[in-house]
Every structure is written in structure tokens, then in C-alpha cells.
Amino acid sequence: MKGMQVGLLIGYEGEWDAIPHEVFNVAVVAEETIVLYNLKDVACSFAMLMGIIYCVHLEYPQDMKYSFEVLQRGVMKIKPLPASEYTD
């Protein structure tokens, strides 16, 4: 997983699509290492990824920082206030 700071690897069958319909394996990657695998649900795998990031005190990838923060604070309700100040 060279170059992958955090993310999900999704194995699926069928045609390529934005949302895979027949997922057979999901792996969670943190700091270029697969830390969980053989997960069957993308949503649960994403929650696991967020938990790993939060528990191990990893920083969000700089180019995805605000996307992760919206998901953390808005969707998952983890430390909802205050949000980071946006700097361009």
C-alpha cells in the first residue's frame, strides 16, 4: 500500500462502478499497512478506519483533511465543535 496514508481497499465482483454492489472483502489501510481485512461491509469498514485514526491519533491526509473532518464532526458526531479554520 505504498503511498497510501489511510484508506479502504475494496474487493468486489462485477462491473466497475462508483458504488460496488457485490463486495467480498474490504481492508483498512493506515500508514501504508493493512491493519484490518476480510471485512464484508464498506460502511462498517469506514467506521473502523475513523476509529483507528481517532484512537491512534493519526493526522488526516493533508489533501483530504476537511473531507475527513466533515465526516468526523458532522456525520459521526465525534468532537462536533469547534471546526478547524479554513486556510487557503
pLDDT 10s digits, 16-55:
777 777 888 999 999 999 999 999 988 899 999 988 988 8
Q: Is 81 within the bounds of a domain?
A: no
H/E element, 44: helix 42-55
Q: Is 31 within the bounds of a domain?
A: yes
Q: Is 12 within the bounds of a domain?
A: yes
If one counts the domains in the chain, the total is: 1
Q: Which residues form the domain of 56?
A: 6-75
Q: Is 24 within the bounds of a domain?
A: yes
Q: Is 86 within the bounds of a domain?
A: no
Q: Is 26 within the bounds of a domain?
A: yes
This prediction has a pTM of 0.74
Q: Is 85 within the bounds of a domain?
A: no
**46-63: buried (b, 16+ CB within 10 Å) or exposed (e) per residue?**
bebbbebbeeeeeebeee
Average pLDDT in the chain: 84
Q: Is 88 within the bounds of a domain?
A: no
User: How far, in Å, CA of 29 to CA of 7, rounded?
Assistant: 5
**pLDDT value for 38:** 95
